[in-house]
Structure 1
């Protein structure tokens, strides 16, 4: 018998209005939990949450809290798997908000931050997974990157697999096509602007590189393995 945990603890700075919205969301989730399945009981409190709440979490005809329940994998049992703490607002009108928990709801926290803390974006946090017994496969961690356009996730197992792949094959991150210039150094091919900075380069798979027609340039283009730190 053993217990597994997903842990996280981090803070972010938000505006006073955003902190107030987060407080109202927490109160609304607690209200829904207390009311159980009685939609009419929940609906009586919905107008008091304010028009800005209604804009962020629009209601449906059947359920006033439909927009809020979209944050949860199981809308029937909404629950915040973390604690949220708020500091006093400082002089510039900012509030430090702390998220923490030992069975941390990664997805819900990420969606909540994306929806309610726009001024903090882009934002990211890390999480850890462990176990109270030394069982293989139970230890690791990951990260979440939150932007206005989306949420992306990474895991240490993916990073480890990629690091091992790089050790076995220097082209694990793909290839870039480069030319050498006596004045400007290396230039890297991209489809829009010919040869430019590495950050703009088109990255080819090994198969794509093998069938790509070499462009005409002042120097003979050559294939270079994509540097590992720039491609995880």
Structure 2
């Protein structure tokens, strides 16, 4: 018998209004989770939360809290798998909010922050998975990056696989076509403007590089492996 955990603990700074919204969301989730709260109670509570809540979490035809329930994988069982604590507001009107938990709801926390803490974005946090027994495959972790436009995830397994691939093949991250200039150093090919900065470079697979018609330039272009820190 063993117990597995997904742990996280982090804080972020939000405005007073955002902290108030987070408090209202937490209280509302507790109300929704109360199976004895009938539709009349839910309707009255939704109305009491104000127009800013309604704008952020619009009601659905079936449930006044339909928009809020979209935060959860299973809307039938809304539950915050973490604790949230709030500091007092400082002189600048900022509040420190702490998230923590041993069975941490990574996706729900990310969606909640994206909806209710826009001033903190872009924001990210890390999480760890472990076990109270030394079982293979039970240890690792990852990270979440949250912006206004989306949420992306990374895992130590992916990072490890990528690092091993780089050790086996320097071209694991692809190739860029470069020329050398005595004054400006290296420039890199892109299909729109020709040779330019590395950040604009087209990254080729090994097969694409082998079949690409190398453009004429003042210096002989050469293929270089994509620098690994720039592509995870």
Report the counterpart of residue 209 of structure 1 in structure 2: 209
Could you tell me how far apart the structure 1 residues matched to 2:89 and 2:231 are?
39
Report the counterpart of residue 39 of structure 2 in structure 1: 39
Q: Is the 8 A contact 1:85 1:98 kept in 2?
A: yes
So what's the TM-score if we normalise by structure 1? Answer: 0.98
Report the counterpart of residue 182 of structure 1 in structure 2: 182
- State whether structure 2 residue 109 is matched by structure 1 residue 133: no
Q: Is the 8 A contact 1:35 1:41 kept in 2?
A: no
Deviations 1:95-124 (A, max 9, x none): 000000000000000000000000000000
Report the counterpart of residue 228 of structure 1 in structure 2: 228
Could you tell me how far apart the structure 1 residues matched to 2:134 and 2:222 are?
49
Could you tell me how far apart the structure 2 residues matched to 1:166 and 1:39 are?
57
With over 3 angstroms needed to count, the CA separation of the structure-2 counterparts of 1:40 and 1:225, relative to structure 1, is same
For residue 74 of structure 2, give the secondary structure of its aligned residue in structure 1.
coil
Could you tell me how far apart the structure 2 residues matched to 1:39 and 1:144 are?
35
Report the counterpart of residue 92 of structure 1 in structure 2: 92
For residue 34 of structure 2, give the secondary structure of its aligned residue in structure 1.
helix
Deviations 1:59-89 (A, max 9, x none): 0121000000000000000000000000000
TM superposition shift of 1:37: 7.2
TM superposition shift of 1:194: 1.1
Could you tell me how far apart the structure 1 residues matched to 2:38 and 2:166 are?
55
Deviations 1:199-224 (A, max 9, x none): 22111111111111111211111100
Q: Is the 8 A contact 2:31 2:37 kept in 1?
A: no
Report the counterpart of residue 12 of structure 1 in structure 2: 12
Report the counterpart of residue 73 of structure 2 in structure 1: 73
TM superposition shift of 1:190: 1.2
Could you tell me how far apart the structure 2 residues matched to 1:53 and 1:212 are?
54
TM superposition shift of 1:38: 3.3
Within a 5 Å distance, the mapping from 1:141-180 to structure 2 comes to 141-180=141-180
TM superposition shift of 1:198: 1.1
Q: Is the 8 A contact 1:142 1:154 kept in 2?
A: yes
User: For the aligned residues, what is the CA RMSD?
Assistant: 1.0
Could you tell me how far apart the structure 1 residues matched to 2:43 and 2:77 are?
17
Report the counterpart of residue 48 of structure 2 in structure 1: 48
TM superposition shift of 1:36: 5.0
Could you tell me how far apart the structure 2 residues matched to 1:216 and 1:114 are?
47
Report the counterpart of residue 107 of structure 1 in structure 2: 107
List gaps (5 residues or longer) in structure 2.
none
List gaps (5 residues or longer) in structure 1.
none
